[in-house]
Amino acid sequence: MFTESEGRELAAIPKMGNPRSEWLQERPNTHTNAFGVTDELGRTIEGMYAEFEVFTSPNLKITTYLFTLYRKIKKGDQERIYQLEINLAKGIRPTDHRYSHEHYGEPSFKADTTWASASFQDAERRFCTNTNLTLSSELPDYLSLYLR
């Protein structure tokens, strides 16, 4: 795992990303949009990719945003550079493991009240700011999968 300083250093590299036009649904209630990233000149940053994952459970009234910047280390292995996890379930307290938090490398940092229950757009904005990622287009609405 990356240390906090390694995670912050890799997250600070300016990068560009081109989200998929549709979310993939490989597991029930989980939608994923993952893509590689490039530098400002359009060159692939080898092994680095962003993954936006949204888990929704209408029956349990839970929504979780899990946005991660990874670097593939070797075939099949990856390490987390930065991760933002927003849990919108009712009743989660700041002392709970599932409380909203972020990681730079391995260390975890609990959310403060300004972003603990962020909207999808605010979570996307925070992730992109904290990873210095510019998207070529907005992420599509993950709820559109339910409207088909």
Q: Place 73 in a pLDDT band, splitting at 50, 70 and 90.
A: confident
What letter represents residue 111's amino acid? A
Q: Is 75 left (phi over 0), alpha (psi -120 to 50) or beta?
A: beta
CA 53 to CA 32: how far, in whole Å? 4
Among candidates 53, 84, 70, which has minimal Cα distance to 2?
Answer: 70
Q: DSSP character for 139? A: P
Rounded to an integer, the average pLDDT of 15-40 is 94
Task: Look up residue 88 and give its two tokens.
Answer: 């919108």
Model-level pTM? Answer: 0.93
